[in-house]
Structures are given as C-alpha cells and as structure tokens.
Chain A
C-alpha cells in the first residue's frame, strides 16, 4: 500500500471515529443519529473516492504527456536526420550509428506503451526499420561506406520520402492511441 493511500484510509477511519464520538455526545434520537451518521459517512467516502480517482487520472495524464513529448522529440530528431540525408550531408557510418540509437529508443518507447498503457499493434519501429533497410540495403549506400560520403540518388530519395511519410503517420497514430488509452 502506498503512503498516500494509507493516509487517506487512516484519515477516513479517524473521521469515522470522530463522528461516532460526536454523535454520542449530541443528545439526539436513535433514528436521527442513524440518518446523520449515514449522511456524514457518505460525504466522507465521496471525498476519499474523488481524491483517489483524481490522483489516478492525474498520474495517467502525466504518463501520457511524457510519452507524447518523447514522440515529439523523436519526430524532430528524425526530421533533422532525413533532411541531412536528402541534402547529402551525412557520413554513412554516422547514419548506421544514428539508426542503432534511434531503433533502441523507439523499441523502448513501444515497450513502455505496451506495458504501462496496454497499447497494442504499434508500428513505429517496423516503420523505422523499413527506412533503415531502404537506405542501407541500397547499392549506393554500400558503395559509399568506404568513401565516407553518401550522396542519395533521385530514385532512393523518392523511396525514402515516401517511407518517411508512413513513419510520421505511425507516430501520429500512436499519439491518438495514447490519448484514447
């Protein structure tokens, strides 16, 4: 049991005892005592439930906001990376290292989305991997590794742009799923 929950429950019990004591001290008839006690207990229980529910909703919103921010950051970094590739400004070795870091980051995100929010059928990593494969499986990329300069062809550029569009869609779909979870 968490500390705050313990405090709420203990407060409820103490208030209950207090009410019971007060009721004993005030000279009322039995039916009035029962009625008054019932009202007070209901009010106290209502307050405790509202506090607990609010806390749970607030915790969930905090977690959701964290994941949404992380997705926003992934989108920003991906955008910078793709622009560099399209303008032929990336070293092939850097591209490989960047993909490894990004893949691990997306996999970790998906793991926690499944674990914490029970979201299924996420396709961010599979979409990221398709981009990785389009680039690093191409002959022009493989030829460029030893030259340490990667210049993308128009054909590969188009393929990459299309796949990148799908990746961005997958991120938006994930944000929608997070908000609905």
Chain B
C-alpha cells in the first residue's frame, strides 16, 4: 500500500504583506529572514513528520495575496532550501500555490532549485562573503 500524503500550508502573507529584499541587511521582511524564521523551521517539521510516520508529508507555500515580490526574495528563500536539503528532497516535499502569478512556480522549480543545488555542489558560499 502507498503511503498517504499529508500536507501543511503556510502563507507568505502571514509573514508580511510587503515582501522585501534579498538579505536582512538590505531591509525588512527579506527573503533571507523568511527562510530562517518560517520556511526552514516548517520544512524541518515536515521532514520530521515524514520520517516519524513513514508517510509523505508536504509543505505547501501559498505565495498569493502579497503586494508583489522582488525575484530576489523568492530566489533567496527557496534557493536556501535547495542549498540545505538538496533539489531532490525539496521537490519531493514542497508545493507552491501561485494562482495570481503562476509562472513563479516554474521559476522556482525549474531555475532556482537547480541553480542553488549546483551552487552547493560546487562549494560556492550561499551568501557573498562581504555580506556575511
């Protein structure tokens, strides 16, 4: 019997209505902060639930209803996931709701995740040294 899939949903809107820049140093509600405060802890929880139950748990991130994104916010948030957990694991456990701007889904899954996965494999630091 196939393991049943269970999902938890989070909304970027609950983090902020106005998603900010890429890095924390550049302003409020950055992609980096969203990753550290929301996305990473939630993704860890999903992985733990999957491990404990033996069934597939998925994190659904709803990108709709904010005022609009800088592409750097999304790149930093979801790119860091691939950097820490690998493209394969992220693609298995992550789904996006992007009804308002559906092409963000393609950008994140087809460009961001593979690029950051490669970045990790090549040993490139996730953040430029000057900003660390």
Contact = CB atoms under 8 A, between A and B. Distances in A.
A104 B70 contact: no
B101 A104 contact: yes
A107 B70 contact: no
A132 B18 CA distance: 16
A136 B103 CA distance: 16
Contacts of A103: 101, 103
Contacts of A107: 101-103
Interface centre among A126, A133, A136, A145, by most B CB within 10 Å?
Answer: A145
A136 B101 contact: no
A145 B28 CA distance: 9
A145 B70 contact: yes
The B interface is mostly helix, strand or loop, or mixed, namely loop
Interface of B: 18-23, 26-28, 67-72, 75, 100-103, 107
B103 A125 contact: yes
Interface in A22-56: none
A20 interface: no
Closest 5 CB pairs of A and B: A100-B68, A146-B27, A136-B70, A96-B68, A142-B21
A141 B101 contact: no
Interface string A105-126: 0010000000000000000011
Nearest to A101: B68
A8 B62 CA distance: 51
Contacts of B22: 142
A154 B127 CA distance: 25
B104 to A, nearest CB: 9
A104 B75 CA distance: 20
A129 interface: yes
Given A136-B72, A141-B70, A146 B28 contact: yes
Contacts of B27: 142, 145-146
Contacts of A155: none
Contacts of A143: 21, 26
A126 B103 contact: yes
Contact of B67 (A100, A104, A141, A146): A100
B71 to A, nearest CB: 4
A136 B71 CA distance: 6
Given A145-B27, A146-B28, A99 B103 contact: no
Nearest to A102: B68
B71 A137 contact: yes
